[in-house]
Amino acid sequence: MRKAKFTVIAGAIGAFAAVLSLSGPVEAGTCQSVDAKGKGKDIAMATTRAQADLAAKAAFIKGKVTQTSTNCTPGPTKVVCKISAVVCPK
């Protein structure tokens, strides 16, 4: 009985190792998703600030923005805009 349990456990570990070997490390230079946020008194100012935040983040990871999606939400005193983007290497 003990030998059978050991064989099952060893088989499970082997299968797990095989899965890990198939999924290699993430390659350097792949695209990344980035979120940026800006606040302002109106949508134009909040969007401008969010775009500046996105540009700074893209420059930091030395990439180029390829896709964006902007969502602005008016609050009681300020508008908050969030930009979701994909940044790929230059």
Q: Are 50 and 39 in contact (CB under 8 A)?
A: no
Q: Are 77 and 45 in contact (CB under 8 A)?
A: no
Q: Are 34 and 54 in contact (CB under 8 A)?
A: yes
Check residue 29 and give its pLDDT: 63
Q: Give the position of tokens 């299968």.
A: 15
| Mean pLDDT split into 10-residue runs, the chain, 90 residues | 44 38 47 96 96 95 93 94 94
Check residue 90 and give its pLDDT: 82
Instruction: Provide the domain limits for residue 35.
Output: 2-89
The closest of 76, 70, 86 to 38, measured between CA atoms, is: 70
DSSP 62: T
Task: Judge if pTM exceeds 0.75.
Answer: no
CATH number (domain holding residue 6): 3.30.110
- Structurally, the chain folds into a number of domains equal to 1
Check residue 28 and give its pLDDT: 57
